[in-house]
Structure formats: C-alpha cells, structure tokens
Amino acid sequence: MTPRERIGWARTGPHSELVTLVVFLVAVPLGTVHWLGLAAGGALVGLTAASTRRALVLGVYLGAAAVLVFVGWLWLAGVLGKAIATGQLFGASLAIAFVFPILGAAVRGFG
Amino acid sequence: MATWGTRLFAVGCVAVLVVASVFGSGVLALTAPFSGTAWETVDRGERTVETPYGPATVTYVRHGVPHVEADSTEALYFAIGYTQARDRLFQMDLFRRQMAGNLSTVAGEATVESDRFHRQMDFESAAETQWERLQGTEVEEPLQAYTAGVNTYMDRGTLPLEFRLNDYRPTEWTPADTLLVGKRATWGLSGEFSDLRRATVRNRVPNASELYPDQLDHNSSIFELAREGRTDSPATNRPTGATTDRESAADYGALYDSLARYERGQGIGSNNWVVSGNRSATGEPMLANDPHLQLFAPPVWYEMQLSGPETEIRGVAFPGVPMPLIGQTDEVAWGITNVGADVTDLYRYEWRGQQYYHDGEWQNATVETETIDVRDGPDETVEIRKTVHGPVLEREDQTVAVSWLGLTGTREPLAFYGFGQADGMDEFRDSLRNFDIPASSIVAMSDDGQTFYRPSGTYPIRRTNGTVVRGDRVFNGSADEGTWRGFEPYDTSNLTGTGFVDYERVPRIENPEAMGTANQRVADDLDFYLGTSSHFADSYRGQRVDEMLESSLEDGEITREEMRAMQRDTRSLAAEQFVPIALNATDEMSDEARRATQRLDSWDYEMRKGSRAALVYDRWLTHYRNETFSDEFYPNGLDESYYPHDWTLGRLPADSRWFDDRSTIPVETRVDIAARAMNATVEEIDREGWDDYGDVNQLRINHPFGGTDAAAFLNYPRQPMDGGPYTLFNFRASSNPQAGSSWRMIVGPDFGIGVRPGGNIGNYWSDHYVGDDLRRWRLGEYRQLWTNPGGDPDIRFVEGSG
C-alpha cells in the first residue's frame, strides 16, 4: 500500500474505529509530556478521521479526555481542591488541555 | 477532498498554535497541564540524596515538622540545609534578596526604594564580615555543610511554585547568605531611627518633650516585677542626664519619613515567662514564650527536631538559618523577647563634597556606585557612602551616618549553636557571652530545676570628650560626639573592650521563682544607658503577665493549664486604663454615643471577636488618640507614627494642653475630646455596618507575592480574631503586614506544647502549607510538640559525591 492508501485505510477501512481508538490511546499520554503533545495528539487523531468535521469531534473528545486525566491526576495527588483554588492558573491549564487537541485535529482540513 | 474553506480553517488553527507558542510560551510553560512548571512541585522530588558529609535521615512527623537525624554534626547540618530549602526555599531567597537590595530584579519598580536603602546600609558586607569573624570557630563547618545542603536541593530538587510564577531562579547559597538572613532578624528587632523621630517632633511641636519622657511613669520594669532570685547590678558607666530639647531638637522629618518603613516595628514585642519547680504544680520548672513578629504566609518560623551527636534540639529557626533560635534540648529550654535596647546611633557632620570633618581633619568618605537591576524597567543607580561611623543615609539634604551594632562581626550564631549544645544551665549561660544582637530578654530553665533571666546583648557605651553620654540624640560626628570605642563597621570590632558594657556588669536574675518579660523597661535604675521610653513597650502586657502569675501563685502553684490560660489571655489592661475616661464623658456625648458607652460600663475588658464593647472601645481609642494629637501633629506634617505611647496618652491630666483643639476658640478638656471621639465612633460603626470586634479585627495573613489576583491563592483565608496589641494573646490587625504571636510554646523538662500561625511547609501543594495549625493558633489551641518519628524516613541521605 502507498502511504496515501494506508491513510485511506485508517480513515475509512473496516478497522477504522479500532485505529482511531489506538491513536487516541497514544495521543492522551503525549499531552502529559509537553503542551505541544496535546496539539500533536490532536493532529494524530485528526489525521485518522474520515472528515474534518469528524476530526474536530475527535479533537473535542481528546481535549475532554486530557481534562479528565489532568483532573484525575490532581485528585490522586490529593491537591485537586488546592488546584481549583488557584483560579486563573487552573483555568488556563484546563483551557490548554481542552483547546490544543482541537486545534491540532484541525490539520485534517489540509486533506 | 478538502475544500478551500476547511483548508482556511486549518490554516487558522495552526496559526493560532504558532502565535500561542511564540507569544505565549511563558504562560504555556507555566500552566500547561501535567508538564507546566506550576505543577512541578506537586511531586516533591528525590527521596534519596547523596551527600559527602555522611548519612542522615529526615522523617516528617505530624504537622509537617521534619525530624532530622545524623551521626555527625556536618551530616546533620547538610540535611537541615536540604530540608529547609525543600520546604522554604522561596522565603529564604526572598529574605536574602531583601537584605542585599536585590528585590527589584524580580519584583520591579515597586521595591527600588527598599533596595536603595538596603544597599546603602550594605548589610551584605556586614554579613560577609561576620562570616570572616566566624571562620575557625565551631560553627564554620556546620554552616558550610548547611550551605552545601541548600545548594544540593537547588541543583536537584524542584523549584517552589513562586519561582515559576515569577519566572526566575535562585542563585547559589553561601554561608554569608545565612548570616544575611540573620541580619534581617536582628535589624528587624533592633534597627531604628527613633532619634530622628524624637528630634523632629521636638523641633516642630512645642512642648512635645513632655510626651516623650525618659522613662514611662510606671513601676512595672522587668526587674521590679521579678520574684525572688539573686540580682546583680553593679554600678558603672552611668551616663549623663536625659537629653534636652536644645541638644536634640532638629528637623529630620524628610529623612525619617523615608526611613520609617525600614525600622523595627513600633510596639512590636513578645512575651515570655518562667516558673521554677518550687512554684509549679508538677514540681518541675516551666517556660512559655510567644515572640510577636510579622505574620506571613508561610510563617516566619520553621519548626524542626534535630537529633545529632550529643544533642537533641527541638525548636524554631528562621528559614535560611540552621540553628533553632527558640527551643529546648533534653537539658535546657529557652525563650526570647526583644529588649528593645538602643544599639543604633546617628551622626551628622560638616561636609565638603565627599569629605566629612571628623577627628580634627577632613576625611574622605568611601564612595561606591552600584546599579540596581529593575525588572521591566530602567536600571537605577545608588550611591553608597560610608564614614568611620558607618553607612550614610541622605534625603533632601538631611544626612546622617548610622552606627548599628549589627554592622560589625557579631557572634550570636555561636550563642545559638551553643544553646543547642548546652549540657545544663552553666553551659547555657556561658553561651550568652556570645549573644551580641539583638539584645534579648532571655529566660531559661534546666532539667535540674534552675531558672534564669538575663537581658542579653552587647551594649555600646557612648563617649563625648571622654564623658559617657546617652544615645538619645543625633550626635555631632564632626565634634567627635558619641564615639563607641573599638567599633569598626564592616570589620571585626573589640566587643569586649571599653567601648561596650562589660558582660559581668549586665544584671541578671538567677533562679527566679516566677517572672516574665514583655518588652517593657528592663529596670528602673540601670547603671548604663539602655534606651529611652521610645525603645520600650507600654507596660500593659508586662503588668498582665505579672498579674496572672501573682493570681496563680496566690492560689498555690502554677499549673500547665494556667500557663496556657496566660498565653490565651485577651484581657486588655489598656482598656482598663482608658474606659473610665470614656465613661466620665457621657454627659457631653450624643444619645447614641452615650448608649454605646454604657456598654463599656459592664464590659470585662476582654478583646473577644464577638464583643460589641471591644469594638466600641477599639474604635474609640483610635479616635481619641487622633482627636487629642492630630491638631498639633498633622499641621506640622507629622502623622500617627510620631504620636507618643498610649501609656502617656492615658495618663494625661484632664486639663492637659494636649486636649485643647487648636482649631477652635473654646479650650477643650479630656471630657470634650473623649465625647467627641465617641460620637465619631458610633457614626463610623453605623456607617461601616460593623457588629462586633471581629468585624475590624480581621486576620489577613498574606504571601509576599499574594497581592495580585493571579497569586491571591497563596494568601491564608481571612478570619475574625480575638486579641489586640496590648493583650497577651497578641494580634495587631492594623500593622502592615499584620503582626502577632508568631510562635507559642510552653515547655517543661518532660513536655512541650505549641502552635504556629500557619503550616510548616512553604510548598503550596503540601497539606501543611496552611495546615491545622492556623486554626489552632487562631482559637488559642495547642498541639503536642516533639513527636517521636515513626515509620520509614521520607528522605535518606547516603554517602556520595553530593
């Protein structure tokens, strides 16, 4: 298969949903390494989507997952209440976690 | 196929990412989820640390208190350094920055004047001089090991959140930095410019000298109130009489106004008392101490338990200083309050350019110019001038040089180190010989039942033409007035020579049955100059300590519960003095004011947050003070900071000239002013909607960087408080920053209870950032001190390169 055929297989092939799940599972930990990982993860799930609209939906899912994992991490560390109390700091982190994967997923718009 | 629309959308999103990464990289690096530096310190780093000084362990016992244990002194001090940096590095760095005049590098223009003052005083060189003085002594290697521990944490540990929020890194720690933090404490307790204040008031306000007596009119000095015990107070070095207006009046208003914010807080004080085993219910001595200092988040004290070779110390230290300054070993316990002694003198000269006339000739001042690096602003330059007496401070052509004892190589680190090593009272007392500054009323007890008190410190003797004089004036340095023989600022001085009061000449009390100190005058008739009424606190707290000790002793022996009750006491003797003045003035009051005053008639003088009477009294006293003095002071450009002691105000006769309002034709008396103040009080309470004392007596403990919305989460929660400036349960709501009991401790040979106003750990993410101590402290509750460590150590220090 050519690279283009491979991408097409991932996007619309019989196992496209499984591919999306695997890419999604790779994308989430990427976001914990660096903020660029959030955008890169979004780009990964976006590129495996069947359409730009679908890519953006997956970006939203990934952003929501990043938010949930981040909040869960803080909760496990016993500092969720303190993190919420930081106000702007916590809000900025949540916004980055949610928005950057969507921005990354938008690269699907290039084709 | 992608349409032009979706491509355009994709381009837009990528553009947003690029713009954010270019222009928002700092915010992203700080706040990114997981990887943002703000979240770094959620995980507090290494559990095993290599050290070249030998093995040690740190086990955090309850309430975030580290129990540090090692087989060698150096290993112990390395571990202390690492642990303090782990828990308080931002505060340590802030303290040294403040004293070195480097705040503006991280805080911007707002701190330029502070940096200018601290550089002109050159505390940094004083700390370096002190480090030179301490080399070769028993503290040299422990201080070096401590320094290595701090730097190891800086190299390997995660930086506290505050560094991330403000985007800077601390520079390497040095032994002189530790001593610089010590200078911060000693200057904060003994550095003052009261000579300028007094000279200015005398110059601008006619008859003001009667408001600033040499001694406040009371019989409650520390020695006067002490019970039993042997007192030694031999005669020597008695100075000439009090300074007259002619000698001291001069206008230094501009200079004082610019410097007042850097001198020790007026009225800031502390309590301590000791009871011998003969008078305690347990048969063992007991000791209590609560130093009243500025209240910060995190607290100014860092609590530690240290277990080293031949020593077990439990106590509190300033972050950046390894030795506990207040605490207990297995053999001795000690508590400290500020004497308030005058160890700062000021000198004026005839100037000719950069030359000043002194010792019969024109001498060149040492002049250096430094640059203050200002964040987000243009650099500032500061000229640092020094004379033989010390650094020169100048504002609007008013120029003085400052001799402050702490500018020379003082020895108090040796004293604090010695306290922790003392095998008993004799060795503890020997350590006091090194206790130079700040002059402190030290009470101590030992496990064999001894008790002890000494106003410890090194006291300068001023001489003019060979005659011993007092230090209560600005000296003429060109006429060689007020010389301290042997004093060398920024160099090693002969502190045991004829320029200073001989150690044996300072009175002490051995084995007092029961006695306390609360910053009031030390003695009524000392044979050397210690200070004037400007240097000592009103005696309300001192009298209350005595009153409560007396009451307990009358009933028999003093119990631990009575010791606790004393530290929790909110009865104000000032209120007892002032309330009758208000009650006598009801005829002249409005109906509403009269009703408010009647509440005071049955009031128990308890400054409780739920008390309406305490609210009325507190606000009335503020108005009464202003109604009495503002017409004389404000027109002369003098604000409340120039007002005399409340003790003086409370004892003014009913027809005193100070009650007459100079802006009216009739001659007012005390009754008129008291009534006027109460009328203003009820109007204010009504206008503000206050219900009780807790509405105005609000606890606001803030973080130094908590002034912005983005960092306000670092501040402690606001709460209504009991207590006031004159109660033993001490809280000063109107101070900025607020002040009060910064540590409460009650100990005996086999027990210890205490509490801090906040958590021991400076890391915001820690459970012990605020902790349960703040609640306990606010409510006057205690917890057990000195917990035995159990379980595995939290940090292990193992042999390695470090």
Cis, bond preceding B635 (omega within 30 deg of 0): no
- What does residue B702 show for φ and ψ, rounded to 5 degrees? -115, 155
Of A78, A94, A109, the CB nearest to B7: A109
Q: Which residue of B has its CA nearest to A50?
A: B1
Cα distances from B726 to residues A95, B520, B522, B544, in angstroms, run: 50, 12, 18, 9
Closest in B7, B28, B42 to A79, CB measured: B42
Are residues B32 and A110, on separate chains, in Cβ contact within 8 Å?
A: no
- CA-based nearest residue to B452, from B425, B415, B423: B425
- Do you know the residue count of chain A? 111
Rounded CA-CA distance B491/A28 in Å is 62
Residue of B nearest to A66 (CA): B33
* Locus of tokens 């306290």: B419
* Closest Cα in chain B, distance from residue A6 (Å): 16
Q: Say yes or no to pLDDT of B244 above 70.
A: no
For residues B317 and B422, membership in a common domain is answered with yes
Asked if the structure places residue B169 within a domain, the reply is yes
Chain A residues with CB-CB distance to B35 below 8 A: 32-35, 37
Q: Nearest CA to B215 among B449, B532, B666, B457?
A: B532
Q: What is the DSSP string of B251-301?
A: --HHHHHHHGGGSPPTT--EEEEEE-GGGBTTSS-EEEEEEEEE-BSS-S-
pLDDT digits (tens, 9 = 90+) for B456-467: 999 999 999 999
Specify whether B267 is located in the same domain as B203: yes
Q: Which residue of A has its CA nearest to B32?
A: A93
Name chain A contacts of B32, Cβ cutoff 8 Å.
34-35, 38, 93, 96
Q: Is the pLDDT of residue B267 over 80?
A: no
Q: Per residue in A53-93, pLDDT tens?
A: 899 999 999 999 999 999 999 999 999 999 999 999 999 99
Contact B39 A107 (CB under 8 A): no
Q: Is the dihedral of CA B273, B279, B285, B286 positive or negative?
A: negative
The total domain count for chain B is: 2
Contact list in B for residue A36 (CB cut-off 8 A) is: 21
Which among A35, A38, A111 has CB closest to B2? Answer: A111
Give bridge partners of residue B710 from the DSSP assignment: none
On whether both B514 and B590 belong to a single domain, the answer is no
**Which chain B residue has its CA at the smallest distance from A76's CA?**
B42
pLDDT > 70? residue B475: yes
Using CA coordinates, name the residue in chain B closest to A108.
B10
Q: What is the mean pLDDT of chain A?
A: 89
Distance from CA of A21 to the nearest CA of B (A): 22
Q: How far apart are CA B652 and CA A18, in angstroms?
A: 90
Whether B42 and A74 lie within 8 Å, measured CB to CB: yes
B9, B18, B27, B31: which to substitute to probe chain A, counting the most A Cβ within 10 Å? Answer: B31
Cα separation of B566 and B85, whole Å? 35
Q: Is residue B535 part of a domain?
A: yes
Residue B114 pLDDT: 97
Given an 8 Å threshold on Cβ–Cβ distance, is B34 in contact with A73? Answer: yes
Q: Please state, in angstroms and rounded to a whole number, the distance separating the CA atoms of residues B168 and B497.
A: 46
Nearest CB to B35; choose among A32, A67, A103: A32
Least confident of A97-101, B66-70, B182-186, B215-219: B215-219
Phi first, then psi: give them for residue B227, nearest 5 degrees. -105, 130
> Which residue out of B713, B761, B763, B770 would a mutagenesis test of the A interface target, given it has the greatest number of A Cβ atoms within 10 Å?
B713
How does residue B686 score in pLDDT terms, banded at 50, 70 and 90? very high
Inter-chain contact A89–B33, Cβ cutoff 8 Å? no
Residue B517 sits at φ, ψ, to 5 deg, of -135, 145
Which sign does the torsion angle of CA B148, B152, B154, B155 carry? positive
The predicted pLDDT at position B9 comes to: 86
Asked if B10's CB is within 8 angstroms of A82's CB, the reply is: no
Half-sphere exposure of B601 (CA within 13 A, CB side): 10
Q: Are residues B417 and B518 in the same domain?
A: yes
A22 or B582, higher pLDDT? B582
pLDDT of residue B230: 55
Q: Are residues B348 and B478 part of one domain? A: yes
- Domain span at residue B582 reads 573-698
Give the nearest partner residue to B34 out of A32, A79, A106, using CB atoms.
A32
pLDDT of residue B235: 46
pLDDT at residue B247, rounded to an integer: 56
Determine, for residues A96 and B33 on separate chains, whether the beta-carbon distance falls below 8 Å.
Answer: yes
Nearest CA-CA distance, residue A104 and chain B, Å: 7
Same domain, B196 and B249: yes
Considering only A7-16, A26-35, B309-318, B694-703, which range has the smallest mean pLDDT?
A: A7-16
Considering the domain architecture, whether residues B192 and B318 belong to the same structural domain is answered as: yes
Q: Quick check: B7 and A110 CB within 8 A?
A: yes
* Residue B731 included in any domain: no
| Separation between Cα atoms, residue B433 and residue B412, nearest integer Å | 9
Interface of B with A (CB under 8 A): 1-2, 6-14, 16-17, 21, 27-36, 38-39, 42-43, 709-710, 712-713, 764-765, 767, 769
Query: Does residue B215 carry a pLDDT above 90?
Result: no
Do the Cβ atoms of B33 and A70 come within 8 Å? Answer: yes
Q: Answer with the one of B698, B732, B756 that is the final residue of a domain.
A: B698
Chain B nearest-CA distance from A90, in A, is 8
pLDDT of residue B227: 72
Phi and psi at B382, nearest 5°, equal -135, 135
Chains A, B: CB contacts within 8 A come to: 100
Mean pLDDT of chain B: 93
User: Which chain A residue has the Cα nearest residue B717?
Assistant: A85
Contact flag A52-B6 (C-beta cutoff 8 Å): yes
Contacts of B253 (CB under 8 A, 6+ apart): B200, B204, B637, B638
Residues B188 and B319 in one domain: yes
CATH of the domain at B687: 1.10.1400
- In the chain, the amino acid numbered B381 is T
Rounded to two decimals, what is the model's pTM? 0.94
- Selecting from B14, B17, B33 the residue whose C-beta is nearest the C-beta of A66 gives B33
- Is A87 within 8 Å of B16 when comparing Cβ atoms? no
- b/e string for A33-53 if b means 16 or more Cβ within 10 A? ebbbbbbbbbbbbbbbbeebe
With respect to residue B33, please indicate whether it lies within any of the assigned structural domains.
no
> Tell me, what's the pLDDT at A4?
77
Task: Calculate how close chain A gets to B43, using CA atoms only, in Å.
Answer: 8
Shared-domain flag, residues B167 and B263: yes
Q: Tell whether B521 and B587 lie within a shared domain.
A: no
Nearest to B713 among A38, A77, A87 (CB): A87
- Chain A CB contacts of B34 under 8 Å are 31-33, 70, 73
For the residues B426-433, what does the mean pLDDT come to? 96
Q: What is the CATH number of the domain that holds B335?
A: 3.60.20.10
Last residue of a domain, one of B636, B663, B698: B698
One domain for residues B669 and B798: no
Render the burial of B696-726: b for 16+ CB within 10 Å, e for the rest.
bbebbbbbbbbeeeebbbbbbeebbbbbbbb
B563, B628: one domain = no
Which chain A residues are closer than 8 Å to B17 by Cβ?
39, 100, 103-104
When mean pLDDT is compared across B103-107, B290-294, B308-312, B576-580, the lowest value belongs to: B308-312
Listed residues B664, B698, B732: the one ending a domain: B698
